[in-house]
Amino acid sequence: MTPAALPDALRTHPLIDQWLRVTPEGRVKAFSGKVDIGQGISHALRLIVAEELGLPPALIDMVAVSTLHSPDEAVTSGSLSVQHSGSALRHAAAALRERCRAAFARQQGVDVAAIDCSAGRFQLRGTDTVAGYADLVRPELLRAPLQAVEAPTVPLRSGSACHAPRPDVAAKVWGRFEYLQDKALPGLCHGQVFRSPWLQALPLPLDRAQALEAALTALPGVLTVVCDGQLVGVLTETESALQPAIALVRRRAEQGLLWQPAQPWVPPSDLSTWLRSQPQETTVVHEQAPAQEPAPVRGGTGKPRATQVLRAEYERPYLQHASIGLSCALAHWQEGGTALAVWSHSQGIFNLRRDLALAFGLPVDRVVVSHQEGAGCYGHNGADDVAFDAAWLARHAGGRPVRVQWTRHAEMAHAPLGPAMVVALEAALGADGRLESWSQQVWSQGHGTRPGRGATPALLGAWQGARPAPVPMAVNAALSAGGGSERNAVPPYRIAAVRVLNHRVLAMPVRVSALRALGAHANVFAAESFMDELAAQAGQDPLAFRLAHLPGAENARARAVLTEAARLAGWHSPPAGGAAEGYGRGMAYARYKNTGAYCAVVAELVVTEAVRLQKLWIAADLGRVVHPDGARNQLEGGAVQAASWSLCEATRLDEGGIASADWASYPIFRFADVPQVHVSLLDQPLQPSLGAGECTAGPVAAAIANAIDDAIGVRMRSMPFTAERLMQCAQSQPG
Amino acid sequence: MPVAPPVHAVQPPMNWTLNGSAVATVQDARQTLLDYLRHTAGLVATRMGCCLGQCGACTVLVDGRAVPACDTPLWSLAGKTVVTLEGLGTPQAPHPLQTAFIEAQALQCGYCTSGMIMAAAALLQRNPLPTHKDIRLALDGNLCRCGVHNRVIRAVADAAAAMAQTARPGGGGCAAAACPTTESDQ
């Protein structure tokens, strides 16, 4: 392992007992600020602690994450949990192990070198004298701050622990896992918050609010109705009693008896034109000019051969999270309404706590947010907003706790969208078949409206009451943190002149925020599609063309994943049994964020009237892998989700807001659509871990587009690649 | 949803079977099976995903058929037998599908898992040796956003093979031979 600096999380939380505690029975409690959102991160963290302490994973208890007792590790996002929290826990555990070894050596009056540590037991070499962690741990040992990396971490995985299964998998299969949606508290009542379909709407007129309030109050089981600005809340004794209220509000809204948009809203008919025509903030993401003008290349006749300039533009539409579960939260005002307890499946409970405190005018330390797992989360969905809804309604519950669970309609129509993007590319291809320059321009809204980052609360309900907080414009994370819309906009290839511009669109009629992989999905789709177009222009094989632009030792890992994906897929062999009509293969590569996992994908498909994606081969270098089957599961799942985005998903907007608000209007991949996925993990046990969840998104999209072109000679530059789009493109690209 | 029967002033309790136990419920024209399971019976493994019958997260067995509980009115269950994930197997007496799902790590968040397993159980009852294509077809109404479909297909095929092996006189034999699925039969 390369010598590591102290992880950031250990700088802010330098005490071992902020991460690890040992019970008298010898069990270890491990604390992390990273939360389970379906990816099984707590198990990976458990394995890291077990590995460093030399204990069986079953002896490590991951403590449920809460602002009460967990380290603040911001948001669980960006494929960073193993790097950040895992690294902190690894160093804390290594320090604990070595401090215990030193304590035992002192006890025995020997040098630390005389103490062996194996299977979680310290032994004075050559004797039967042993001690365990519980025998040796003292408060002062846990509370001496970690100033620097104190102890070497276990250099190689031990081989057995990494195959220990995720315990929650079995609990979920037995039906015994308690999701947040199942949580019951004594005295719990149920609520629902209704809002306009537009991000910004006029307050509900008084007469309509009064009429609605009377109608809702008359329903059986209704405890309270609350109207505030455009928000209408209803509290009931049982969850079932909410159904008639939901139906009633839906009916009135459809009849036009409730909300009106703040401004008349006409959805853009052409996203590309709309994005480009909005006010925008342009930043130079990367600029690199050639050291000197390259000498003109001379062809066989002695005349300089012209450099060819190619241009192309690529698009992705707005996308939806489309989790199978419904956003849910519980809230309870305590101590006479001066303290708030919230249970949430948010990705960022500390950030949520901060914005709840802002929204309700409380000191931060009067709010506790505890995490409990919900359904799979793929970005900034409704989790934080429904927590606001529950807290807002619970103020009217007379001290009883309140549970709010969004409806499927709210889940699809009120959660932030993944931003639409346009990516324009221009490259100069030299006569020698090498790229001389590359220009990439991105138009997109920012990819973040998460809570916890501004002066006012970034929670949907806080923008919709009678005294609304301002709606902040979506922003992008710093490029050093991976960026947002500009994520992966800088090409990974060695090219003399590179210029990358990001145009952040300063308009947000529909809320957008982070969706898995952020800008990497569209940027890699664009760049890797363009690489194939350039390779074709140069008359080169797509693999060879890429490898030629990845020279040197610094690109060895990139070349390795490309070569491995090609080997897996039999890139240089004809398909088994001969190519069927409409058969095609395509490849693509990216290093996620240009700093994370290396990933190459080959897609195989058959195009008839629609695309039948048959296989994906994925080669990934994730550095040191903690839990191989978990990592594979993340790669497979990320690939299937990205294939679904790319082949069949697009948000439909109409005058009434987000129109694709159920599974019929927003179809995602079904079993019939899912390709086989073959994964090869390149083992790098000596390299730092790099995260697995998002690295496939961009390469999958581009590999599919490249395979379609290979199959039928039609270049798909706009996602999704539906049968209808395929037909349009085939007609507009004759020959 | 079927049409509700006419409401009479007093109706006798309706008898049906839930996870092997006889239950008698008062007929309520509005209550769905999902609502009854989660809120009355306290059986929360059956998950609410859409309440539109579109996602399969609430799939249970009614007389051996996979149906969405959110779209099944309670009154339609008279004399019928309902099985939920809780009634399918336990750690002590697992259903082969449960063993196979755990071994294949055939989930990420697990929110769709209960419905997937019940839909697969219905499939294996009517077709003990399904091909991968049969499995895809039978589970087509069950959505998964985490993308574990291939693991689910593998787990269902593995469970079928294990059941075939157990059922065969004398047991033993080649599990692979019992399961005609191949990767290319989709």
pLDDT tens-digit series, residues A601-614: 999 999 999 999 99
Rounded to 5 degrees, φ, ψ at A516 are -20, 125
Q: Do B96 and B82 share a structural domain?
A: no
Closest CA relative to residue A502, chosen from A590, A421, A588: A421
Q: Do A149 and A52 share a structural domain?
A: yes
Domain membership flag for residue A475: no
The pLDDT, as a whole number, for residue A140 is: 92
Verify whether the Cβ–Cβ distance B112 to A324 is below 8 Å. Answer: yes
In terms of Cβ atoms closer than 10 Å to its own Cβ (0-12, 13-18, 19+), residue B169 is exposed
The pLDDT, as a whole number, for residue A2 is: 44
Q: Do A211 and A143 share a structural domain?
A: no
Domain membership flag for residue A719: yes
Q: What is the CATH number of the domain that holds B56?
A: 3.10.20.30
Q: Do A355 and A430 share a structural domain?
A: no
Q: Do A221 and A74 share a structural domain?
A: no
Q: How far is CA A626 from CA A41, A125, A180, A355, A432, in A?
A: 10, 30, 27, 34, 44
Domain membership flag for residue B103: yes
Domain membership flag for residue A300: no
The pLDDT, as a whole number, for residue B6 is: 54
Lowest mean pLDDT among A214-228, A279-293, A468-482: A279-293
Verify whether the Cβ–Cβ distance A173 to B90 is below 8 Å. Answer: no
pLDDT at B101 over 80: yes
Helix/strand/coil for A504: strand
When CB atoms are compared, the residue of B44, B91, B111 closest to A174 is: B91
Verify whether the Cβ–Cβ distance A324 to B114 is below 8 Å. Answer: no
A669 in B contact zone (CB under 8 Å): yes
Higher pLDDT: A466 or A5? It is: A466
Centre a 10 Å sphere on the Cβ of residue A117 and count the other Cβ atoms it contains: 16
State ipTM. Answer: 0.95
Domain membership flag for residue B98: yes
Domain of residue B127: give its range: 89-178
Centre a 10 Å sphere on the Cβ of residue A616 and count the other Cβ atoms it contains: 31
pLDDT at A295 over 60: no
Domain membership flag for residue B160: yes
The pLDDT, as a whole number, for residue A150 is: 83
Q: Do B53 and B26 share a structural domain?
A: yes
Q: Give the residue carrying structure tokens 């990273």.
A: A34
pLDDT tens-digit series, residues A678-699: 999 998 888 999 999 999 999 9
The pLDDT, as a whole number, for residue A154 is: 77
The pLDDT, as a whole number, for residue B175 is: 40
The pLDDT, as a whole number, for residue B179 is: 39
Helix/strand/coil for A6: coil
Domain membership flag for residue A362: yes
Q: Do B73 and B51 share a structural domain?
A: yes
Q: Do B43 and B59 share a structural domain?
A: yes
- Return the DSSP state at A162: G
Verify whether the Cβ–Cβ distance A670 to B140 is below 8 Å. Answer: yes
Domain membership flag for residue B6: no
The pLDDT, as a whole number, for residue A298 is: 52
Q: Do B63 and B121 share a structural domain?
A: no
Domain membership flag for residue A692: yes
Q: Do A499 and A395 share a structural domain?
A: no
pLDDT tens-digit series, residues A433-447: 999 999 999 999 999
Q: Do A346 and A212 share a structural domain?
A: yes
Domain membership flag for residue B9: no
Q: Do B168 and B155 share a structural domain?
A: yes
Domain membership flag for residue B7: no
Q: Do B117 and B72 share a structural domain?
A: no
Q: Do A514 and A394 share a structural domain?
A: no
**Domain's final residue, options A173, A202, A223:** A173
Q: Do B102 and B66 share a structural domain?
A: no
**Domain's final residue, options B57, B87, B117:** B87
Q: Do A614 and A535 share a structural domain?
A: yes
How far is CA B41 from its chain centroid? 17
**Domain's final residue, options B59, B87, B115:** B87
Q: Do A440 and A377 share a structural domain?
A: no
CA distance A679 to A645: 20
Domain membership flag for residue A329: yes
User: Into how many domains does chain B fold?
Assistant: 2
Helix/strand/coil for A9: helix
- Closest Cα in chain A, distance from residue B120 (Å): 13
Confidence band of A299 (pLDDT split at 50, 70, 90): very low
Are residues B67 and B103 in contact, defined by beta-carbon separation less than 8 angstroms? no
Verify whether the Cβ–Cβ distance B54 to A662 is below 8 Å. Answer: yes
Lowest mean pLDDT among A597-611, B106-120, B161-175: B161-175
Domain membership flag for residue A277: no
Q: Do B102 and B69 share a structural domain?
A: no
**Domain's final residue, options A150, A173, A196:** A173
Q: Do A143 and A196 share a structural domain?
A: no
The pLDDT, as a whole number, for residue A391 is: 98
pLDDT at B4 over 60: no
Q: What is the CATH number of the domain that holds A557?
A: 3.30.365.10
pLDDT at A345 over 90: yes
Q: Do B23 and B39 share a structural domain?
A: yes
Q: How many CB pairs under 8 A join A and B?
A: 160
The pLDDT, as a whole number, for residue A164 is: 87
pLDDT at B183 over 50: no
Q: Do B149 and B82 share a structural domain?
A: no
Q: Give the residue carrying structure tokens 């015994």.
A: A176
Mean of all residue pLDDT scores within chain A: 94
Q: Do A249 and A208 share a structural domain?
A: yes
pLDDT tens-digit series, residues A77-128: 988 899 899 999 999 999 999 999 999 999 999 999 999 999 899 999 999 9
CA distance A505 to B112: 37
- Closest Cα in chain B, distance from residue A77 (Å): 15
Confidence band of A305 (pLDDT split at 50, 70, 90): low
Confidence band of B176 (pLDDT split at 50, 70, 90): very low
Confidence band of A238 (pLDDT split at 50, 70, 90): very high
pLDDT at A297 over 80: no
Q: Do B100 and B174 share a structural domain?
A: yes
- Measured between beta carbons, which residues in chain A are less than 8 angstroms from residue B153? 671
Are residues A464 and A230 in contact, defined by beta-carbon separation less than 8 angstroms? yes
- Measured between beta carbons, which residues in chain B are less than 8 angstroms from residue A605? none
The pLDDT, as a whole number, for residue A685 is: 86
Domain of residue A120: give its range: 8-158+165-173
Are residues A324 and B55 in contact, defined by beta-carbon separation less than 8 angstroms? yes
- Measured between beta carbons, which residues in chain A are less than 8 angstroms from residue B142? 671
Farthest-apart Cα atoms in chain B, separation: 61
Partners of A29 in beta bridges: A21, A61
The pLDDT, as a whole number, for residue A228 is: 95
Selected for mutation to probe chain B from A327, A617, A671 (highest B CB count within 10 Å) is A671
**Domain's final residue, options B60, B87, B114:** B87
Confidence band of B12 (pLDDT split at 50, 70, 90): confident
pLDDT at B2 over 60: no
Verify whether the Cβ–Cβ distance A671 to B149 is below 8 Å. Answer: yes
The pLDDT, as a whole number, for residue B177 is: 37
User: Into how many domains does chain A fold?
Assistant: 3
Domain membership flag for residue B5: no
Q: Which segments within B3-127 are labelled E, that is strand?
A: 14-18, 21-25, 59-62, 65-68, 81-83
Amino acid (one-letter) located at A492: P
pLDDT tens-digit series, residues A127-172: 999 999 999 999 999 999 998 888 887 766 555 567 788 999 999 9
Q: Do A668 and A530 share a structural domain?
A: yes
Are residues A604 and A697 in contact, defined by beta-carbon separation less than 8 angstroms? no
Percent of chain A with pLDDT over 90: 89
**Domain's final residue, options A173, A198, A231:** A173
Confidence band of B184 (pLDDT split at 50, 70, 90): very low
Q: Give the residue carrying structure tokens 């060879």.
A: A544
The pLDDT, as a whole number, for residue B180 is: 41
Confidence band of B168 (pLDDT split at 50, 70, 90): confident
Closest CA relative to residue A71, chosen from A50, A61, A86: A86
- Give the residue on A whose Cα is nearest the Cα of B139: A671
Selected for mutation to probe chain A from B97, B111, B153 (highest A CB count within 10 Å) is B111
Domain membership flag for residue B1: no
pLDDT tens-digit series, residues A574-591: 887 677 899 999 999 999
The pLDDT, as a whole number, for residue B172 is: 46
Verify whether the Cβ–Cβ distance A165 to B102 is below 8 Å. Answer: yes
What's the average model confidence in pLDDT over A523-552? Answer: 98
| Residue B37: its H or E element | none
Q: What is the CATH number of the domain that holds B133?
A: 1.10.150.120
Are residues A351 and A453 in contact, defined by beta-carbon separation less than 8 angstroms? yes
